Structure 1
């Protein structure tokens, strides 16, 4: 019998490791809530990944910084993975499943150079998602082929003969064993008691649970193997090479995008900016004076805070759309037209920032009147995020060589990780506690839907106000939920403190 080639042995070992990864993964997740198990799962995947691509890293790098970007992605991946062991916010526990999947796919594509596109282009992400979601299914038969080849390599006539003889021996031994076991059980009561325990041991194993675990292990193992196989053997092509060359001087054809005449675009931007500047000048005292009691005549405190907030956010989003069009869809002609374009876009950004500040202050007033919730804090964070994007866009207007796409992708990842570590539920509890100390108003029912992250603050509030209606029940509910997750795979720092 000829030994398999070294490359075949490597892929067979890779398949064995994928099966082990699937078995360990089902043990980590089936019947246990996500906790420290996520950290172990991600670490196991990277162990399988780096074993599989050993010797495939390095070489020619078409776009400078691709490999470095791949290694840097370990920072947000590690931080988001640790959130499952540190925090208990249900929203981010769900969102982080998709965030981690996308980041790990992007990183593994970068490290294996499975895409010829740079990481700051949209085509890179569409190709990465294709590799992560669609392509593995085209290799679903590969592990079965490897297993079948191994059986064929070892399935000689002598081997089959030995297996047949072993089965025959077991068949003959079965009735004899029944007689011997019966006699021994009659002769010794201790031996009989051991035999009686066998059904109880089998009761510990559920047939349905076993099917679920085997299915989960098979799915995880198959996907991990097929995805890594797709990375190893995917041949990406650069479609730009096959495009016909544009006519000389035709910038719109060269860029492949729609472009507006600078006079038309300039007129539009000047008109919009005129309205925004007029709005800011006339309404400035109203936008920022409400906190000092300078409300418009006849406007109630809460009504002012609520009214106009959504409208200002919508206008800000429309302005961002105009900004993107102004940066990429206006034909470049004379220097004067360029100055008008840049000044108009800068003024548009300035007015949009004022509107965001106005919306931020209105939301703060609304929170002061009605309390703090997760949605309201997330909107606060979103407005700060938009403000940062606008500042980056201002830099891009006056510095053409600046890559706004790179900055936006990096800022988005950083902002998302920061929101995870902002510990929103703890902040909500703390701010509602401060509001209660000032106003005496608090929504205990809403505090009851917070996660274990809020437990330390709620305990402080209970220590200061032990007779507050409903608070004891909320704390006890958090503790009972934390105690229910007793498996080590579900260990979480916030729930540990709540216990």
Structure 2
């Protein structure tokens, strides 16, 4: 192990301990820089050179870190972090087949044990080769740190403005936080070790060979799918008929619960049908015979028909959710599952393209589409969309669930700020209280939080407003009102 790799690992650990204790914001990007450098140095020392797809995964992973830097909501941030970790594993391991895509993240865990021994041996070698040189360096660092602490404390005591500036720039490292800071240091240390070791000695997942499925007879695999095609065609014919004019009967139903049940249950059932269709396609591709041209033509015809009809199912599911949102408003869960249904439609299109142009790039295309979907979902700011749609609905018919809206994140503040009083203060008072309690440093503050604080500073929340009302009867009936979306 070379000195640059070791120093990058140590920098990652130190920054993790200092910054992560106060929140996310820009912290993830700041800590990611030395971690990426550690992996790059280790890969260079091992003789590995970056390939085009390696750069694609690396850039995609760094782009996903923009979500916590921009947004305050927890769920999009969680999705972005998981996706960024997966893309990092793809970049470090390489490979293009299904084993690399499915098992790549496991390699990071496998590298942790071997990586710890690898780093320890590297530290011992560096220490043995630098005896007599470490002393002056350590003394210099100690003197510089002592001077900063002493004179920084004196200047902070002499001027309140300087003390406030210093407090916003330097993390709180009080002794009461020592256990928490130590945990974060170890997290950053072992995380950087895992990345560096994987970059130097990745697992070759593409060498894992899955045994192909035994080819079935044409009748055995094709007949069930043809029957499924006919069922899809019949369902889609009914959906198209309703879509072209039959919704008026549903909308005019005397019982609102009937309308809700029609849209809500229909969406979930169609979402499950889409997922099951993907499983059916995967199994059919495994068992379908493709020994000659006639078999390949039959596979493309039957599965292509399934894919086309599934796209109609996707459109029908999205239409039902749109009806439900028009009636009862947008929530975090609804916008999330709608985004998932749209991505499933993209997956169907990619499978169709693989059937025409070949499936060599399909694993990478699916992984890239998932990461792009997560990035787009985060940058679209789900909480802002929810607030925007509900504010528009309030302007149209006066219906609003203030209890739900006050649980949104700071991303929703610009839209909620347009509400009239007292609805505005009712929706914003909890968000305002959370922002006042969590007035973090610049590196732990997202752009959304900073913008919300500016808005609430210019136009303060009226905390003397009375009770903000109960949810309407529709919203009490609505089972999504308590959706488990909020992640602290």
TM bin (shorter chain):
0.7 to 0.9
What does residue 479 of structure 1 align with? 432
Would the alpha carbon gap of residues 366 and 218 (structure 1) be closer, same or farther in structure 2, given more than 3 Å must change?
closer
Correspondence list, 1:197-276, <5 A: 206-225=174-193, 227-233=195-201, 236=204, 239=207, 256-276=212-232
1:20-99 equivalences in 2 (<5 Å): 20-30=11-21, 32-56=22-46, 67-99=51-83
**Structure 2 unaligned regions, length at least 5:** 135-171, 454-488
Give per-residue Cα distances to partners, 1:349-405, cap 9 Å, x unaligned: 222222222211111111112111011111211222122222222233344466433
Structure 1 residue 306: Cα displacement: 2.3
Equivalent of 1:134 in 106, 110, 113? 110
Instruction: Check 1:102–1:420 CA distance in 2 against 1; reply closer, same or farther (3 A cut).
Output: same
CA displacement 1:323-357 (0-9 Å, x = unmatched): 22333420125544544433222222222222222
Aligned to 2:451: 497
Q: In the aligned structure 2, how far is the partner of 1:205 from the partner of 1:337?
A: 68
Rounded Cα–Cα distance in structure 2 between residues aligned with 1:271 and 1:96: 40
Q: CA–CA distance in 1 between the matches of 2:27 and 2:319?
A: 41
Q: 1:405 to 1:144 in 2, by over 3 A?
A: closer
Are positions 1:417 and 2:407 aligned together?
no
Q: Match of 1:489, SS?
A: helix
Q: After the TM superposition, which residues 63-462 of structure 1 pair with which residues of structure 2 at under 5 Å, given as runs?
A: 67-110=51-94, 118-119=95-96, 121-125=97-101, 128-149=104-125, 206-225=174-193, 227-233=195-201, 236=204, 239=207, 256-287=212-243, 289-293=245-249, 300-333=258-291, 335-400=293-358, 403-461=361-419
Farther off after superposition, 335-344 or 288-297 = 288-297
Shift of the 126–340 alpha-carbon distance from structure 1 to 2, 3 Å rule, reads closer
TM-superposed deviation, 1:275 = 2.1
How far did residue 212 of structure 1 move?
A: 3.3
For 1:222 and 1:272, how far apart are their aligned partners in 2?
50
C-alpha distance after superposition, 1:10-35 (max 9, x if no partner): 634533442233112211112x0111
SS in 2 for 1:260: coil
TM-score for the superposition, normalised by structure 2: 0.75
Residue 322 to residue 378, structure 1, CA distance change in 2 (3 Å): same
> C-alpha distance in 2, partners of 1:411/1:237?
21
Q: Any gaps of 5 or more consecutive residues in structure 1?
A: 1-9, 60-65, 111-117, 160-203, 244-253
2:316, 2:203 → 1: CA distance? 51
Whole-Å separation in 2 of the counterparts to 1:107 and 1:214? 29
Deviations 1:419-451 (A, max 9, x none): 111111111111111111112101111111111
Q: Which of 7, 10, 31 is the matching residue for 1:19?
A: 10
Give 3-state SS (helix, strand or coil) of 1:141's partner.
helix
The answer as to whether partners of 2:215 and 2:288 remain within 8 angstroms in 1 is: yes
Partner SS state of residue 395, structure 1:
helix
> 1:81/1:265 Cα in 2 relative to 1: closer, same or farther (>3 Å)?
same
In the other structure, the counterpart of 1:467 is 422
Mark the structure with the bigger radius of gyration.
1
Equivalent residues of 1:286, 1:296 under 8 A apart: no
- Distance change >3 Å, CA 349–CA 12, structure 1 → 2: closer
Separation of aligned partners in 2, 1:478 and 1:77: 30
The TM-score with structure 1 as length reference comes to 0.74
Change (3 A) 1:297 1:41: closer
What is the CA RMSD across the aligned residues, in angstroms? 3.1
